[in-house]
Every structure is written in structure tokens, then in C-alpha cells.
A and B are shown apart, each in its own frame.
Chain A
């Protein structure tokens, strides 16, 4: 199963039940605001001119953060969640730089901080086949849990059935090579603070194109340098002892 979440922004009433359910299940302090993602708010509901926008980790199919982490602290599980192991992390924060959605947040207030972000309730629900706390809490069904392909089909059905209601764009279908969190909206996503100039290919491909050349750089480089050294040296030897030249 490839789990996913479909959030239909036209159905969200902004009750923040998802944000509070997230805090409850993850033991996060209720004191911090619910409208902005931080290390202590992994699921937020932001209101921009009347549209309630639920924000959370996109759980990319091929995540930039997973490829960026030098110690493999971030991983994509077979179920679809991008999870994090704080014990491995050394705090380089390259994941924060790498993520095109700006999702991973840092505990800036702590002397020994870790990265924090939505982990799809992996240990507490998804691993056992349950849905995460946020979709369970949603009273209007605006944010749904399900199989990714099934949710894509449902989203496409909605867009076709009500073309006046939705813009013809399922955000997350292709963005960053596809994400496990999908959005439907009535207004263009760029106006809602969603990154606009996303590439449609997985981000890790960009760096892998460079990294996979390393073996050939090393082998040809060694041969080249050793060759130059040998030729130069041989020339000097011959110059020093011309009688060797037959």
C-alpha cells in the first residue's frame, strides 16, 4: 500500500482539529500557534484571505531531504511516510536547505536540537495500517487518508464533476516528482503560498546526475595525473642522461 493524504481546500472550514489532534498524538505543546509550521507544530492551518490552508510535510515520493541527509537520518518508508531518526542526526540542516517546500523545522531554542516535521504518524498509526490523527480528526472530510492512486482518482473525479469549483490542478501529482500529500483548490496554488516554480522531476535526480560521475572522475583522474607525472618525470630523466637515448 502507498498511503497518501488528499486535502480539499474548498472543504476545509479551518477548525484546526487536525492541528490539535497532531499535537495530542505527538505530545507537542499546545501553547505554540497553530497557523505556522514550527518544530512544535507539525500540522498547521493557515488562513489566507478566507482560504484555510492545511500545511504539513508533503512526504515526497523521492524526497530531497532523504537524499540530502549525510547520515541517513531521514528515510522514506514503504508505506509512504518520510520519517526521521534524531539519534542519527548531527544537525547540519542540509535537509532544511534541500526541501523545496521548506518543511523540516529546527528546535532553535534548544542547546541540543533536532529536526522536527510531520512523520505521517508512522509509529503510532500508519505502520499498523491506521490513518494518521489529522485525517481521523477532520470533521468535514476535507483531508482524507487513503491509497495514493485511489485518492488521485477521487480528486480527478471531483475536478471533472465540478469544474467551476476547482482549478484544474492537483498539487502534488507531479510536483517534485510526485508527493504523498495532495491538494485540491479553488484558487491558484501560487496565491496560497505554495511554492510555484517547482520542478516536475524528483529533486534528488539533480544531484545524483553529478554524484554518479564520481567513480569515473576518480578513475580517469588517477590515470591522468599518474600519466602526466610519469611522462614529465621520464622527460627530465632523459634530459639529465642523454646517453640513455638509443
Chain B
């Protein structure tokens, strides 16, 4: 029997290259550890694996609960054709988030601890539980597709009865942990830049996740249409884009209101790197697509819809990375840029998601059956002039961003250290209190008792304890320490009593030893 391999294409090689890098990085990560593999440090403990793989990954899977609620709770059945692919996207998203988490956790094999070792005061505890439960819910929501594939009608019917409760649980769990990812950062009040820190972060994360998740639905439907020759549910996507515009509108009003109430508006135009990243996030990633989606002409064009959705995704990703990385940079005092291995793992995980989606579409009834009836449907892409403009604009923006980012890296100036007043004069020498005279225990061969006095050894006007402590003579509690000198013989004293810094101990015994007779 011959196994038919798909013909290798350009993308096959790209995939192979990404996974080869990812595989090497995986080995490196688990064999040599996080420090050798990533650019993470004590100053910057969370990088792109948290900022992108977790925060963005979970957020963009939010389309799953939004569409499920639309179809099963609000009973808008016309959205059913996109429900399965959306739930699949969400399920794969969560599986990949958990996979990525295994890379980031220092002891991934302890991840189950969160089930038995409770700390209800921890946001991370709540996120852990919700992600765990919601991934299970998504799995159950997706199971009917598998039942249908294998014609297990009885099971399929059985599952239909629990669909609504399942969706309700899913919506609640999503609401909780989408917002809780924001709550994680409520704790870092003195670390996160005021352009992003807010007590309302949970609300912002939740609302933006709805916008991002829905944009993901448009994005994924458009690409599916191209890849699998499937007709776009254009009117549905156009409606979704209108919802996105409204959601973004609410989001922007709340964020501006919040900035002004914390009197943080002044940071927007202060010319700092943070203000630049903030403006790009808000203007390009939220304001522009909102205006686009409010226009009927944009909604009528598939390419422009896609363009708008990509901008929303960009804004969403930018927001999460700004919270996790840009906003935390100033406090940390270091510039974090992911290592190539961090990027390789992230890209491998994303690529795995795309491949898994492809396989699922191939082997499971993800898209409604009637659409597959068309023997060979040509990919439906708006090929009009306006569509080409949308693509050109997208490419242009991408180019500009890459150039801008490169420039901002190149133009980075070294941090000038803060001016600290010289407080040497603030240390009054007379404040020094010396230990009492120390009688050094004598050995049998000793010609007499040695008593050490700090007063005769320390220059009061320029005290410098480090000349002797704690390398030559360790300081323990008073009295214990002296034994060290006796055991070591004349050596430690001879460091200075060598005829150069002080009199040579070999020349005069009674300089130190006082005979008892």
C-alpha cells in the first residue's frame, strides 16, 4: 500500500523550518533551562510566552463563547454555520495556550497542584481553574462534531440536551477568566505604566477579548474560504463587524474615561516610547478598524472586512503585549526582547494550531455539508480594485510598523543614571560605635595575650570596615570571631603587619603579645 504524501509547497518548507527551530528550542528549554533559552531575567520574569501565547491566545479564542452564546442562548440560528469552526478555533486555541504554558512554567509537571493546593486569594488560581474547566467545556461542545462524523446519532442527541447548560457554563467561565487575565495586572499597581494600569483592567480585558475574538471569526472565515474553497457567510461577517465596531466604541470611551479619571491623559503625548506604543495601539488597532466597520462600503467588501479584522487583531495583540512587556519595561530597568528560541516556540505553537485546524476541517464535518457539495468551488475572494487596495494598505502598514520598530530599537539611547546626592558627608564618623576590645584566644606557643582594639586600627575620619571584614576576618557574633585569627596564626594580621602598611609582626612580638609575667 502506498501512502500518498501531499506535494510539498513553499509553505511546507516554511512549516518544516519553523518546527525544526521549535524542536531545537524545546530540547534547549527542557535540558538547559529557562535562563539559557530565553531572554527572561529576575528583572523581567514574564516575556512573550506569557504576553503572546497566553494573553493573546486566550483572548483570541473568545469568539468561541461569543458565537456559542449568540447561537444557543440568543437563538440567532443564522450564525450556526460559523459556530463549529469558531468553537474549533477556540478549542485549539486553549489547547495551544496550555501547551505554551508548559514551556513557560519552571516546573510544568506540578501544574496539577492548582487542583489540590488551593489559594482562593490568587488571581492565577482562578485563571488556572477557569482555563482548565473551559477547555473541558469546549471539548464537550466540540464532541457532537466527532459524533456526527462517526454517525453516533444516539450520542449526538444525548449531547443536544446539555448544549444550553454547557454554553451557559462556558460563557460564565469565559467571562471570569478573560477578565481575570486583566486582574493579574491589577496587582502590579506600582510597576505597570499608567497608560495601561487601571483598576478596570479586568473589564478592559473582557471587552477587548470580545472584539478580538469576533475579529478572529472574520479572519478565520476569510482564510478558510480561501484555503478550503468555501463560500463566505458574508452577511453574517458584515453583521459581526458592526458588533465589533460598537464593542470597540464602548471600549475606547471607557479607556479614555479611565485615563482621564486617573489623570493619566498627559502621558499620551509625552513623546516617550510608551506613548508611541499606546498611540499605535489605540489609533491603528482600535480607532481605524472601528471607523472602517462603521462604513457600509467597507462591510460590503470581503477584502476590506478582512483588512479591518486584521487591524483589530493587531490592536488586540498590541494591547496585550503593551501590558505584558512595554508597560513593564520602565520599572524593570531592562530592555526585554525575546530570544530567537522564544520566538521559535511561539511560532511553532501557532503553526501547530493552523495545521490542526486544517486536519480537523479535512476529517470532520466542520463546515455545513451543503457548502461542500459544490464539486470545485473556486476560492471566493473579492478581486475588485478596492480589495487590492485593502491588501496594499495592509502590506504598507505592516512594512511601516516593522521599519518603525527597527528604528526605535536602533535609536534607543542608553539610560542615564539618576542623579544621587553624595551622602558621604551625611555619615558622621562619631556615630561609629566600635565593639569592645577583643581578647584573641591564645595557643600554647603564644608568648602572650593579644587584645585587638578597633580604636587603634580604624581611621575615624575615613572608616572602611571592608579592608578587614568580612574577607580577612569574618564577623560573627562578638566573641566567636576571635578564634578565627588564632587558628590562622599570624597570617591575617600579617596582611597589613608586613613592614609596609604597618610594622612587621616578625620583628616585634611584644607589639601585640602582652606577656602575663
Contacts and interface: CB of A to CB of B under 8 A. Distances in A.
B477 A136 contact: yes
Given A191-B418, A207-B123, A211-B120, A228 B183 contact: no
A10 B430 CA distance: 12
A207 B464 CA distance: 46
A64 to B, nearest CB: 6
Contacts of A187: 420-421, 423, 426
Contacts of A137: 475-477
A153 to B, nearest CB: 20
A111 interface: yes
Contacts of A92: 104-106, 124
A100 B427 contact: no
B265 interface: no
A70 B105 contact: no
Contact of A70 (B30, B34, B114, B191): B114
B433 A108 contact: no
A108 B36 CA distance: 8
B43 interface: yes
Given A71-B119, A206-B199, A49 B124 contact: no
A91 B114 contact: no
A176 B199 CA distance: 17
Interface string B433-461: 10100000000000000000000000000
B118 interface: yes
B74 A228 contact: yes
Interface stretch (B171-179, B216-224, B238-246, B308-316): B171-179
Contacts of A69: 119, 122, 124
B465 A13 contact: yes
A90 B111 contact: yes
B36 to A, nearest CB: 7
A60 interface: no
Interface residues of A, number: 81
B202 A210 contact: yes
A129 interface: no
Given A69-B124, A91-B107, A197-B190, A15 B465 contact: yes
A96 interface: yes
A155 B43 CA distance: 31
Nearest to B188: A97
B117 interface: yes
Interface string B92-122: 0000000000001111101101100111111
B113 A140 contact: no
Interface in A123-171: 136-141, 165
Given A69-B119, A139-B465, A49 B420 contact: yes
B184 interface: yes
Contacts of B128: 70
B392 interface: no
A136 B481 CA distance: 12
Given A137-B477, A187-B423, A111 B30 contact: yes
Interface in A203-246: 203-204, 206-211, 214, 217-218, 221-222, 225-226, 228-229, 232-233, 236
Contacts of B118: 72
Interface stretch (B55-63, B254-262, B347-355, B466-474): B466-474
A49 B105 CA distance: 39
B296 interface: no
Interface string B178-203: 01100110111111000000010010
Contact of B75 (A13, A20, A232): A232
A108 B477 contact: no
Given A70-B114, A225-B69, A214 B421 contact: no
Contacts of A165: 426, 428, 431
Interface in A66-121: 66-73, 88-94, 96-98, 100, 102, 105-106, 108-114
A195 interface: yes
A61 interface: no
Contact of B470 (A20, A39, A140): A20
A102 B191 CA distance: 10
A67 B108 CA distance: 21
Contacts of B433: 140-141
B187 A50 contact: no
B188 A98 contact: yes
A39 B328 CA distance: 21
Interface of B: 30-36, 40-43, 45-46, 69, 72-75, 104-108, 110-111, 113-114, 117-128, 164, 168, 171-172, 175-176, 179-180, 183-184, 186-191, 199, 202, 328, 418, 420-424, 426-428, 431-433, 435, 463-466, 469-470, 474-478
9 contacts: A10-B427, A37-B42, A94-B122, A110-B33, A114-B107, A139-B435, A139-B465, A203-B189, A211-B121
